[in-house]
Amino acid sequence: MIRAALAALLLAPVPAYAQMLIDDLSDPSPWRFVSDRVMGGVSSGEAEVGSNPANIRLTGSVSTDNNGGFIQVRRDLDPWPQDTREVILTVRGDGQTYYAALRTTDVARPWLSWRAAFTAPADWTQVTIPIAAFEATRDGMPPLRLDRIRSIGLLAYGRDHEADLAIARIEIR
């Protein structure tokens, strides 16, 4: 009886409210740097691999000249449970505002996403972003469907500034 109960417990699905690791950056290869230069902007930057803890550091100059205004690191994802309540990022930076952007298979244009702002303090910190904080970048977009997620991006966006953001971990709950 105990053996059967233990087997049932081990085989039971993990509730969506349990914390789930999405990326601990131990393999940085899925991450790629993208800037507004793909659409004629003039922002510049780079993504560097760091250690202790493993991380990706996004640095550069964001310029709104020539209809630009972003640099980002992005990676593809597998779908998340639709009842995911929050994204937990382990970040550090320069105290400025940055953005997490989620894309799904429901939008075809690369500039469409659901974005949420967060602040990146100087020391490694867990930042929790409620899913409800992610807002569509354009009117008329469908509701955010996490079971159709395809990527996450971390952006320096929307104003002229020098960016310095590092990400070491992504989890959901």
Query: If 0-12 CB within 10 Å is exposed, 13-18 middle and 19+ buried, where does residue 32 land?
Result: middle
Q: Give tens-digit pLDDT for 96-150.
A: 999 999 999 999 888 899 999 999 999 999 999 999 999 999 999 999 999 999 9
Q: What φ, ψ does residue 39 adopt, rounded to 5°?
A: -125, 25
Which pLDDT score, from 0 to 100, does residue 111 have?
87
- The reported pTM is 0.88
Q: Give tens-digit pLDDT for 17-43.
A: 689 999 999 999 999 999 999 889 999
What architecture is the 17-172 domain classified under in CATH?
A: Sandwich (2.60)
CA distance 12 to 136: 34
Query: Residues 59, 63, 64, 66: what is their CA dihedral angle, to the nearest 10 degrees?
Result: -120
